[in-house]
Structure 1
Amino acid sequence: MTFHIGAKPGEIAETCLLPGDPYRARWAAERFLDAPRLVSETRGMLAYTGTWRGNPVTLHGTGMGMPSISIYANELIRDYNVQTLIRVGSCGAMQPHIALRDIVLAQAASTIGSPSSSIFREMRFAPVADFGLLSKAYAAATGPVHVGGIFTSDTFYDERTDLSDQLQRHGCLAVEMETAELYTLAARYQRRALAILTVSDHILTRAALPSAERETSFADMIHMALHAAFAQG
């Protein structure tokens, strides 16, 4: 057990899917895994471990924002030897050709600052996805999918419209709140990481996906994540 994860040694699989919402972890475990069991509920952050086609998998919530995912990713890697970490969450589209319900695969993640920023001092480290995971997730897509750079923000209610304008100008696909730190930690510990994101709202049009439809899109992400982690070839 760690400060934030109550699982015993051996109860966390080497492959972890990481939704922000702990109840999404429970929802996905019950629908996609065989024999899922609750292995941690410390501070209300649920984690379930089961198997998918015979492969051990853990669904673990991470909360919102880079500081929160940094805590869980650090402990999963250092204390439970997790090798593959796939974020499955939502994002806001920043380009006109991207629609609600589309999937964004984050090839790279820009950010103003993250919990790891102090390590690099004056350097701006560019964290990227694992290409093997990204290519397999892309191959498993059954609907519209976009691959490219995203912006990881440390604020949800952002009022920097000038920054949004520049991000759109430079082709940034979407904005969310966790990926840059996850990719940085994966690089630090030589692990595989990918963020698969459903477009739940649109920065340009202000359109938003109803909650009932978010659940269907979440299932699509889990499908892609599992195939990315375990597909052969």
Structure 2
Amino acid sequence: MTIHIGAKPGEIADTVLMPGDPMRAKWVAETFLEDARQVNEVRGMLGFTGTWHGHRVSVQGSGMGMASLSIYANELIRDYDATTLIRIGSCGGMQPHVALRDVVLAATASSISTPSSTILREVNYAPCADFGLLRDAAARADAMDVPTHVGGIYSSDTFYDERPDLNAEMVRHGILAVEMEAAELYTVAARHGARALAVLTVSDHLETGEALSSADRERSFSDMIEIALSAAFGS
């Protein structure tokens, strides 16, 4: 048991899916896992453990933003021996060819800063996904015929961004989408020798202003979950 995760020793699986929304964690556990049971409710950040095709899997909400994600990623790895962390969530498309409902596999995650910046100091560290997870996720997405993009994303510190000039530079440099957690996840995982990947569904588009409704988001996220689980176990 840690400050933010109330699970007992052995109640967290080696593989953990990390949605930002704790209610999405509940939905994933109830929809995709067998024999799922709740193992955490501290601060309302729900966590569950069950099985998928015979493999033990946990689903733990991480909250919004890199500071919150960093807390859960550190505790999962250091205190519960998690070895594979996969962020599942929404993102905002930034390139014209990235459409609503498409899946984005984040090979790299650029940022202005992350909670780990205080450790890295003057180094401009380049956070990246685990290649094996990335390869297996791309293969599964291709087999499912899901429109998928592999490349760099931008992890922002702010949701209500007022830097259109920065967004324009992200687009100019080929950034596929924006979200708020992956850069810190990749950095924490690298520091502790764990595997990490962000599998994201495009829920809105910064360039066109399009956005999915809440109901459409839930229906569209199923492909993302299947891709993430398949990548975790190489199936």
Shorter-chain TM band: over 0.9
Alignment of 1:144-223 (within 5 A): 144-223=147-226
CA separation in 1, counterparts of 2:55 and 2:198? 20
| 1:106-159 deviation line (CA, Å, top 9, x unaligned) | 000000001000111111000100011011111111210000000000100001
CA separation in 1, counterparts of 2:88 and 2:5? 19
> Equivalent residue for 1:99?
99
Q: Which amino acid aligns with 2:156?
A: S
CA separation in 2, counterparts of 1:122 and 1:59? 34
Q: Which amino acid aligns with 1:228?
A: A
| 1:7-60 deviation line (CA, Å, top 9, x unaligned) | 000000000000000011111111111100001100000001001111100010
CA separation in 1, counterparts of 2:97 and 2:73? 32
CA separation in 2, counterparts of 1:120 and 1:46? 31
> Equivalent residue for 2:43?
43
Q: Which amino acid aligns with 1:118?
A: T
SS in 1 for 2:198: strand
Q: CA RMSD in A?
A: 0.7
Runs ≥4 residues deviating over 2 A: none
CA separation in 2, counterparts of 1:41 and 1:121? 34
TM-score, scaled relative to structure 1: 0.98
Alignment of 1:57-68 (within 5 A): 57-68=57-68
Structure 1 spans left out of the alignment, 5+ residues: none
Is the counterpart of residue 139 in structure 1 residue 135 in structure 2?
A: no
TM-score, scaled relative to structure 2: 0.98
| 1:87-114 deviation line (CA, Å, top 9, x unaligned) | 0000000100110000000000000001
Q: Which amino acid aligns with 2:234?
A: A
Number of residue pairs the alignment of both structures matches? 232
Structure 2 spans left out of the alignment, 5+ residues: none
SS in 2 for 1:86: strand
SS in 1 for 2:7: coil
CA separation in 2, counterparts of 1:231 and 1:166? 36
CA separation in 1, counterparts of 2:72 and 2:14? 14
CA separation in 2, counterparts of 1:38 and 1:135? 31
CA separation in 1, counterparts of 2:136 and 2:97? 23
Is the counterpart of residue 226 in structure 1 residue 226 in structure 2?
A: no
CA separation in 2, counterparts of 1:107 and 1:14? 22
